[in-house]
Amino acid sequence: SKLRGKGVWRYKELIPGSYKSIVSINEGNTPLIKSSNINGNLYFKFEGLNPTGSFKDRGMTVAVSSAVSLDYKTVIAASTGNTAASASAYAARAGIKSFIVLPKGKVALGKLAQSILYGSVILEVDGSFDVAMDAVMKLYKDLKIVYPLNSFNPWRLEGQKTIAFEIIEELGVPDNVIVPVGNAGNIYAIWKGFNELVKVGVIDRIPRMIGVQAEGASPIASAIIKGKDTPDFIENPDTIATAIRIGKPVNWQKAVRAIKESGGTAIIVSDSEILDAQKTLARKEGIGAEPASATALAGYFKAINDKIVDKDEKTVLILTGHSLKDPDSMTKADAKRILVNPLHIEKIILGEINGSNS
Ligand code: F0G
């Protein structure tokens, strides 16, 4: 049919809703890259290669198509940056107005720049993402003319679940899927995708869902690890992984369910582990991911160490966003930058190769 596309919309039959038109920028269909230097049983689902550089585009194509089909002319989203960039692009494509609410000073440069370029109205709050999220929750209920694009909107998750479909098509059922967790929609969406494939008889088991959070923003992982039923929210979350700098995840119940019902678990990683993992991924695999995404690799290393995951198990890491999103994080890696006299370049290269300069 006309609505059947290549990426997310390839799975039209499994995406509910009826749409007058589809707002798509050819999202989805991202590569599943086999590790070549870390572990041959490890795979990277590189969501950084979506149109705006994160997995958010998968959800946004469905949510904005729904907004347009319901005749909304205005959309809004609170965001740590990627949802904002994606919402701005898809609203632009749909020809409707977008407002985004950001935690001032805490959004990575690439994401802010995208939202500026795509032409959103940018509203910045003094406070964390959670403050922005609360404001949007209240606003969309009171002011019925704005359509919310955050992940409490179920259409977002219907798009994001196609990550699971693509993994199954390419790899079959892995043993583990490791997902960075912030507002906690994505881990649930992927789990939902696997479950739907069980229901329609495509697969007969699902992978363990392992959620990773950063130390300063780990309400869900802390609760899971301590065996508590409800998380203690964090008033002032903090982490270098600004995408997941969230203290009160809206979808926490859904994430806990996905983790528990899949027999998975949660892992907490520190900022220095995140930056190390980001560098390892870049320097051993040639893959550039933003810090929030690198939590998946940091979590994998920890899971192997703690014998939660075996190195012989097939494990997929969801690399949620591109490294270019956050240039500041990349420049934190140690670099060899040498001011040279052009006449001395040969000498320096030979020194580097022979090890005398290291
Ligand atoms: N990774 C990246 C790169 C993200 O941008 C996010 C969330 C996550 C992981 C976590 O996904 O919220 O579904 O658990 N970013 C949101 C945003 C909060 O506003 O861009 P989640």
Query: Tell me, what DSSP letter sits at residue 45?
Result: E
Q: Is residue 140 part of a domain?
A: yes
- Integer Cα distance of 330 and 326 in angstroms: 7
Report the alpha-carbon distance of residue 210 to residue 298 in Å, rounded: 12
CA neighbor of 125 nearest in space, from 84, 65, 92: 84
Whether 123 is covered by a domain: the verdict is: yes
Could you give phi then psi for residue 317, rounded to 5 degrees?
-100, 130
In the chain, pLDDT over 90 holds for what percent of residues? 94
Between the two ends of the chain, the Cα-to-Cα distance in Å is 60
* 215 and 257 fall within a common domain: yes
Task: Let me know whether 94 and 132 are in one domain.
Answer: yes
- What backbone torsions phi and psi does residue 154 show, to the nearest 5 degrees? -60, -25
- pLDDT value at 83 more than 70: yes
Residues 127 and 145 in one domain: yes
Q: Does 4 fall in a domain?
A: no
Q: For residue 172, how far is its CA from the centre of ligand 1 (angstroms)? A: 26
Pocket probe mutation, ligand 1, options 183, 251, 326, max atoms within 8 Å of Cβ: 183
Ligand 1 atom 4: residue of nearest CA = 243
The average pLDDT across 168-176 equals 98
Domain that residue 277 falls in: 9-53+156-330
Longest dimension (CA), the chain: 69
Q: Quick check: is 351 in a domain? A: no
Cβ atoms of 293 and 319 closer than 8 Å:
yes
Q: Residue 1: its pLDDT value, please? A: 43
76 and 34 belong to one structural domain: no
Residues 138 and 196 placed together within one structural domain of the fold: no
Residue found by looking up tokens 């967790």 in the block: 181
**Are residues 320 and 183 part of one domain?**
yes
pLDDT at residue 144, as a whole number? 87
What residue ranges line ligand 1, CB within 6 angstroms? Answer: 54, 56, 79-83, 151, 180-186, 243-244, 290, 292-293, 320-321
User: What does the block give as tokens for 240?
Assistant: 């270098």
In angstroms, what is the span from residue 244 Cα to ligand 1's centroid?
A: 6
Name the pLDDT band for 135 (thresholds 50, 70, 90).
very high
Domain stops at, among 102, 136, 153: 153
Q: Are residues 184 and 321 in the same domain?
A: yes
Residue among 44, 79, 82, 240 whose CB has most ligand 1 atoms within 8 A, to mutate: 82
Task: Identify the three-state secondary structure at position 342.
Answer: helix
Cα 247 from chain centre:
17
Same domain, 44 and 74: no
| Domain termination residue (choose one: 101, 126, 153) | 153
On average, the pLDDT of the chain sits at: 96
pLDDT on residue 6: 84
Taking only the tens place, the pLDDT of each residue in 201-221 is: 999 999 999 999 999 999 999
Is there a single domain that holds both residue 81 and residue 49? no
Among 61-70, 144-153, 234-243, 257-266, which is the least confidently predicted range? 144-153
Residue 169 lies in a domain: yes
- Asked if residue 349 belongs to a domain, the reply is no
62 shares its domain with 141: yes
Question: CA-CA distance, 333 to 295, in Å (whole number)?
Answer: 16
Residue 2: pLDDT over 80: no
CA distances from 283 to 290, 320, 333, 334 (A): 14, 18, 11, 11
- Whether 147 maps to a domain, the answer reads yes
User: How many domains does the structure of the chain reveal?
Assistant: 2
The number of the ligand 1 atom at minimal distance from the alpha carbon of 79 is 19
d(CA 111, CA 117): 10
- Dihedrals φ, ψ of 159, to 5°? -75, -40
Same domain, 31 and 82: no
Provide the sign of the torsion angle of the four alpha carbons 298, 190, 70, 5, taken in this order: positive
Look at residues 153, 184, 208 and tell me which one is the last residue of a structural domain: 153
Contacts of 234 (CB under 8 A, 6+ apart): 216, 217, 218, 219, 247, 248
Q: Please answer whether residues 293 and 321 qualify as being in contact, where contact means their C-beta atoms are separated by less than 8 angstroms.
A: yes
CATH number where 271 lies? 3.40.50.1100
The set of residues, in sequence order, having a beta carbon less than 8 Å from that of 162 and lying 6+ positions away, is: 7, 8, 10, 11, 15, 28, 58, 193
* Nearest residue by C-alpha to atom 19 in ligand 1: 79
Residues 30, 1: Cα–Cα separation, whole Å: 22
Do 73 and 42 share a structural domain?
Answer: no
Q: Are strands 146-148 and 74-78 parallel, antiparallel or unpaired?
A: parallel
